Amino acid sequence: MAARLSLPEVDLCCTICCDIFRDPVVLKCSHSFCGSCLRDYWAHRGLGRDCPLCRRELLADDDPVPSLTLKHLCEACVSDDGGGGGGPASLSSPTGEQLYTDPGEMCPHHGEPLKLFCLEDREPICVVCHTSRRHKQHDCCPAGEAVADVKAEIKICIGSLQERMVQFEKMKQNYEDTAEHIQEQAQFVERRLREDFQELYLFLEEMERTKMAALKKAEEAKSRAVRLLMDGVEASISSLADSIAALEEEMALGGIPLLHKCKHSNVGRTRTPPECAAMPAGTLINVAKHLASLKYSVWMKMYNIVRYTPVTLDPNTAAPWLRLSDDLTEVSDGDGRRKLPENPERFDRDAGVLGHQGFSSGTWSWDVEVGDNTAWVVGVAGESVRRKEKVSSVQTHGYVTVYFYRGMYFAGTSPLTRLNLMSSPRSVRVKLEYEKGRVSFTDAVTKTQVYTFKHTFTEKVYPYLWVGCQQCPLKIMPMEVMLKVKSNDGQ
């Protein structure tokens, strides 16, 4: 039939059946086909949906769209042909329900469009399903409303997942920063270990040189004294040899000449030979003096280079804007926030830092040099204090402290207690008596009492410092160490 059509009529033919369009539909690619021809084409292929002409794949929501303009043109063409031509003459005016419908939008049980959505079973149904036993008395809504609701839920879910994605990205970045920080920590500790051990090596080498020099000096002095003694003995031996030789000559004379000679002979003088001098005391090297408790004596001399601080600050707890000294005994306020891992031990809203060692029993004390610092807090903090939010340093939050701010001294009670001190302490001594539930603060120089807390401890506590001054750091003071040798009787 296509062979006897005019050119305009050819443009109105379906490329699948080669006849004038019946119920024409248009695809996304702008190609048009009969609705029934397109359904049959896709049913036979069974490999998804594509355009029969350009083979372009259709997406899930790329449904064929009825073309009313093309439909009207085809109807006009058939009317002008006088109803002849077989198939076109038999065309009738189709209704809207005869247009193409995706099989997925039809009820598999009743063949009706899926226009409802069962809220209880969470599935699309047709009008017949709604009256069936399976869905009877179930709450339903129009499929369009359900689609809108599902899309809204999906949008919310996508937003939630995107938020979690952002959180995981931040967590990943934090772990990457943590890995880098661990390497920096290892390099810092390695450098400090090498420096400290190098100082000890140099001290021991110097001590070794001193001990060796003393030994060499003693050896030379003792050897020189022995050589002098040996020289005296050798002189005596030489003198005796001369005397023996002279007497042997006289004895060889014999007879009267010997008698004449005896008047001037050495016999009288040699009858009492010189006595051998005994070895004087202290001739030998005093070995015991050089080796007596050598390691202990060296250890004692190490006091000049070895210092003991009762509290070592923990950099893993220090707020990001604090600055700690290399020996971890000083802390000051910095000029900006450093890029540090967000580990749970670290103070993040409060400019605090804890000591490395915690206490759950016993009596402990340490001195903190505050000097001219204009904003500081000194005391102890419980292990469970909140470190990611800013709270008042009072007992109700796990802190037992005194502090100095805007020229005034306070005790961290609830409410705060204003302290009227006679003089400003340069160094504050903190004394913790865990079992007694007591923390006392005194002026470490004048021994003047500052404040004493009575508090029952239920967890491990740590030394706590807070600083808000850049010019003058807070410093943990070293303690004097005294050694005592215990006698055998235990005294």
> Which conformational region is residue 14 in: left (phi greater than 0), alpha (psi within -120 to 50 degrees), or beta?
beta
pTM above 0.75, yes or no: no
Question: What pLDDT score does 104 carry?
Answer: 74
Question: What pLDDT score does 91 carry?
Answer: 39
- Say how far apart CA 406 and CA 401 lie, in whole Å: 17
Tokens of 22: 């019946």
Q: Name, in order, each residue with C-beta under 8 angstroms of 294's C-beta and a sequence gap of 6 or more.
A: 211
- Say how far apart CA 461 and CA 479 lie, in whole Å: 21
Question: What pLDDT score does 454 carry?
Answer: 93
Question: What single DSSP character describes residue 56?
Answer: P
Question: What single DSSP character describes residue 308?
Answer: B
Give 271's Cβ-side CA count (13 Å radius).
3
- Say how far apart CA 238 and CA 273 lie, in whole Å: 13
Contact 290, 215 (CB under 8 A): yes
Tokens 């910095």 sit at which residue? 334
Contact 86, 57 (CB under 8 A): no
Q: Is 130 helix (H, G, I), strand (E, B) or coil?
A: helix
Question: What pLDDT score does 433 carry?
Answer: 96
Question: What pLDDT score does 240 carry?
Answer: 87
Tokens of 370: 């505050």
Tokens 């580990």 sit at which residue? 343
Contact 465, 473 (CB under 8 A): no
Contact 315, 321 (CB under 8 A): no
Helices 255-262 and 143-253: crossing angle, nearest 10°? 120
As averages over each run of 10 residues, the pLDDT of the chain (491 residues) reads 45 80 85 86 76 79 81 75 45 44 76 86 86 82 88 92 93 90 92 91 92 94 91 88 83 74 60 68 89 86 82 95 94 88 89 94 96 94 89 80 92 90 94 95 94 93 94 92 70 55
Question: What pLDDT score does 29 carry?
Answer: 81
Please name the helix (run of DSSP H) or strand (run of DSSP E) that holds residue 25, with its range, or none: strand 24-26
Contact 455, 395 (CB under 8 A): yes
Question: What pLDDT score does 9 carry?
Answer: 61
Closest CA to 478 of 223, 304, 349: 304
